[in-house]
Chains A and B, each alone.
Chain A
Amino acid sequence: MLVKDEYYETVDLAAYREVLKPVLGQEILDIHAHSWNRIPPHSELSQYPEMNRNPYTIEALLTAGRLMFPEQTYHALVFGSPDPNGYDCNDYVADEARKHEHLYPLYIPAMKASEDQVRKAVREGGYYGFKPYWNMVTWKPKQDDVTVIDMLPAPYMRVADDWGLVIMLHIPGSQRLASEQNLKDIQTLSRQYPHAKIVIAHIGRSYTYWSMKGHIEHIADLPNVYFDTSFVQDSMVYKVFFDHVDPAKVMYGTDLPISEVRGKRVWINTGWVDVSHDKLSWTASRDPQHPVQGTFMSYEMIRAMREGAAEAGLSDQDLRPIFFENGMKLLADVRRRMAGEWKK
């Protein structure tokens, strides 16, 4: 769990004052946050072992939110960890969201549920929508073979369309937004389910801009497609992104807990690398006597967003709704449509 220590006071808060304060209002909505209370037994094989092998409770999430955004009220669209073996923590997230007024849960769907089962789960859990993930498509073990349509079976999409729910969509495949199949599937879903709110997570996993350039325009103007900026830390991505996308369709997210890491995701040669202050199993770090003086990755996302947006001709004022109002409008619409449906 994050703590207030000397490093936080001197390095993180200095960055907060310089980078975040000018652009944030009094409240912040984190549109992409994880929490889980149970760990699947194979978690040591995950991509970010130090982050994923321990529970990341709502208490830890709220502590991170308080420390990262000390002058804001922290809200979060929150979900568990996609796991096909029942460790998704859907119930935990829903229960905690009932206890904390600024948490809005998403449901990680099992692939084979019927429409009735999906409706029942959403009603009983008070969920605002779904967080599908490619690894739930268990019949296709290779990510490059999984399609967006595979991840979103018709029963889910019918419910999402009917109730205007949020779909937090982490697109599959190594080609990301440069995949014609992905773009085509997003267009298809947008057209077939016009009331579903399709949020493209991590701007289509565009941690660098090669996958976005020349492709983002194909989905930029779809009326029910939105973009979550979580974990994107490259100013050039934001420049190209804002050249094509209306800021009103954009929402800030952290991807906590991983953005507790102090450092930055960078591009080296043909792939991304996480550079960090602490020595972690998947990151590049320096000699512990002379560590990288990084701050939270959640801050680097905002730094990059502001730089790229400025290049695209946007001001801090233009960006401010990205941190609260844009996302809250979607959630308010879900709340309105679900009135009378959610179990009290």
Chain B
Amino acid sequence: MSGEPMTESELDYYHRVDMQAYHDEIAPVLPAQVLDMHAHVWPTLVAKHNKYPALGEFKGVPDHYTFADLDASAKRLFPDRVYHAVCFGAAFPEAVEAGENDRIAQGAREWPRRYPLLIAGPHDGEQQLHNALQSGGFYGFKVAVNLETQHYATDRIMYVFSEAQRKLANELGLIVMLHIPRSKRLADSENVSDIQHICREYPNLKLVLAHLGRAYCSWVIKDSIKLLKDLPNLYWDVSYVQNETVFQIVMENVDPTHIVFGTDQPLAEFRGRRVCVNNAWVDVTRDRYSWSAFCREGLEIEATFVAYEIIRAMTEGAERAGLTREQLRAMFFDNGMKLVEDVARRNGLRK
């Protein structure tokens, strides 16, 4: 017998670690069908300012993540559930120029239970957007954000989510998945006032705040939630948020039927957790990624999927906020499907 230590295979790890978490903690809160409100697909990633690149020996987000890959991920993450997804490409202006929307529309036609959003840039005209929406069968917009440092730090929501997008979304009652810019996120008063303005001036659009307004740490949301909690057409996408206190704050303040589950695939298939250190988020992972913190070889963290850490934190937050198990369960399917179905009904889209 060899003296070499045996290395556990990925499959064995999946069954020993991931499936234990799934069966013990995740499956009990999920309904029979799961709607992932925030899933990316990119046949080929187009990103000038990729925050999650592979560098040297370190891993990054995949260069190619197709509808087939998303389906395989869903089977891994939620093996006994029917998976639906609101999906879109990499949400950058350069991806639009590369024709990513066409590929997303095509894929969503080929795969059941996929509800595509159109990546829309600030300079796209109303007619152009209208044509793209109709020809692609899109359910709304994923607002493109320029991650170039200066833009990301200063762009206003009213700029990235252009007037043309707002008018169309309101007219057609569309879903708008909004990843807000600026370093203070929801703690930025101009972001808050823009969100209030949009929700009030365009009451028929369904504004979904991606990542709870990028609230990975509680300071982002603890005060601003009071200013946003009562907007009737504002919804809260939990993707990639893994902080119980953030969930408690949201769930204590907003209508729980306005909270929708999302993963941010393919990122949520990483094994690890996004934590807050000195008020800034840090991804702590089992594997060695270029932007994450990880332990040395031989001392790897026994982590499970980020998707599960999201659900754990939601469950904990819901308990602390005093929500019922039914209210929590609805976040994983019913709440989001109401939005999807309403768009489909208004616009004659297939479901």
Q: Determine how close the nearest CB of chain A comes to the CB of B178; give it in whole angstroms.
A: 27
CB-defined contacts of B293 to chain A, threshold 8 Å? 275-276, 284-286, 292
Most interface-central of B301, B309, B316 (chain A CB within 10 A): B301
Question: Taking the complex as formed, is B299 at the interface, i.e. its CB lies under 8 A from any CB of chain A?
Answer: yes
Question: Taking the complex as formed, is B290 at the interface, i.e. its CB lies under 8 A from any CB of chain A?
Answer: yes
How many angstroms from the CA of A276 to the CA of B284 in the assembled complex?
11
User: How many residues on B have C-beta within 8 angstroms of the other chain's C-beta atoms?
Assistant: 30
How many angstroms from the CA of A63 to the CA of B282 in the assembled complex?
29
Mask: chain B, 261-302; 1 = CB below 8 Å from A; 0 = not: 000000000001101111010101000001111111001011
Chain A residue nearest to B305 (CB atoms) is A269
How many angstroms from the CA of A166 to the CA of B284 in the assembled complex?
38
CB-defined contacts of A285 to chain B, threshold 8 Å? 293-294
Q: Determine how close the nearest CB of chain B comes to the CB of A301; give it in whole angstroms.
A: 13
Question: Taking the complex as formed, is B17 at the interface, i.e. its CB lies under 8 A from any CB of chain A?
Answer: yes
Q: Determine how close the nearest CB of chain B comes to the CB of A57; give it in whole angstroms.
A: 28
Residues of A within 8 A of B (CB): 11, 15, 235-236, 263-264, 266-271, 273, 275-276, 281-287, 290, 292-295, 299-300, 307, 311
CB-defined contacts of B301 to chain A, threshold 8 Å? 268-269, 271, 273, 284
Q: Determine how close the nearest CB of chain A comes to the CB of B8; give it in whole angstroms.
A: 15
**Contact between chains at A268 and B277 (CB < 8 Å):** no
- 28 A-B pairs (CB sep. < 8 Å): A11-B278, A15-B278, A236-B245, A236-B316, A264-B275, A268-B272, A268-B275, A268-B303, A268-B309, A269-B17, A269-B21, A269-B303, A270-B302, A271-B301, A271-B302, A273-B301, A275-B293, A276-B293, A281-B296, A282-B295, A283-B295, A284-B294, A286-B292, A290-B291, A292-B278, A299-B278, A307-B218, A307-B245
CB-defined contacts of A293 to chain B, threshold 8 Å? 277-278, 280
On whether A287 and B245 interact (CB within 8 A), knowing A266-B273, A269-B304, the answer reads: no
Chain B residue nearest to A280 (CB atoms) is B296
Q: Determine how close the nearest CB of chain B comes to the CB of A292; give it in whole angstroms.
A: 5
**Contact between chains at A300 and B277 (CB < 8 Å):** yes
How many angstroms from the CA of A309 to the CA of B144 in the assembled complex?
40
How many angstroms from the CA of A271 to the CA of B301 in the assembled complex?
9
Chain B residue nearest to A18 (CB atoms) is B279
Contact of A287 among B21, B58, B278, B296 (CB under 8 A): B58
On whether A266 and B278 interact (CB within 8 A), knowing A275-B293, A284-B294, A290-B291, the answer reads: no
CB-defined contacts of B302 to chain A, threshold 8 Å? 268-271
How many angstroms from the CA of A285 to the CA of B301 in the assembled complex?
12
CB-defined contacts of A295 to chain B, threshold 8 Å? 278
How many angstroms from the CA of A269 to the CA of B273 in the assembled complex?
8
Q: Determine how close the nearest CB of chain B comes to the CB of A48; give it in whole angstroms.
A: 13
How many angstroms from the CA of A15 to the CA of B309 in the assembled complex?
28
Chain B residue nearest to A276 (CB atoms) is B293
How many angstroms from the CA of A236 to the CA of B248 in the assembled complex?
11
How many angstroms from the CA of A275 to the CA of B301 in the assembled complex?
11
Question: Taking the complex as formed, is B244 at the interface, i.e. its CB lies under 8 A from any CB of chain A?
Answer: yes
How many angstroms from the CA of A307 to the CA of B217 in the assembled complex?
12
Q: Determine how close the nearest CB of chain B comes to the CB of A96; give it in whole angstroms.
A: 32
**Contact between chains at B290 and A287 (CB < 8 Å):** yes
**Contact between chains at A292 and B277 (CB < 8 Å):** yes
CB-defined contacts of B58 to chain A, threshold 8 Å? 287
How many angstroms from the CA of A225 to the CA of B145 in the assembled complex?
55
CB-defined contacts of A263 to chain B, threshold 8 Å? 277
Known contacts A270-B21, A292-B278, A307-B218; 5 additional CB pairs below 8 A are: A268-B275, A275-B284, A287-B290, A287-B291, A294-B277
CB-defined contacts of A276 to chain B, threshold 8 Å? 293
Chain A residue nearest to B272 (CB atoms) is A268
Chain A residue nearest to B280 (CB atoms) is A293
Contact of B245 among A235, A271, A275 (CB under 8 A): A235
CB-defined contacts of A292 to chain B, threshold 8 Å? 277-278, 282, 293
On whether A273 and B284 interact (CB within 8 A), knowing A282-B299, A285-B293, A286-B291, the answer reads: yes
Q: Determine how close the nearest CB of chain A comes to the CB of B15; give it in whole angstroms.
A: 15
Contact of A300 among B21, B278, B294 (CB under 8 A): B278
Chain B residue nearest to A274 (CB atoms) is B295
CB-defined contacts of B282 to chain A, threshold 8 Å? 275, 286, 292
Q: Determine how close the nearest CB of chain B comes to the CB of A99; give it in whole angstroms.
A: 35
Mask: chain B, 41-83; 1 = CB below 8 Å from A; 0 = not: 0000000000000000010000000000000000000000000
How many angstroms from the CA of A181 to the CA of B119 in the assembled complex?
58
CB-defined contacts of A236 to chain B, threshold 8 Å? 244-245, 316, 320
How many angstroms from the CA of A290 to the CA of B53 in the assembled complex?
14
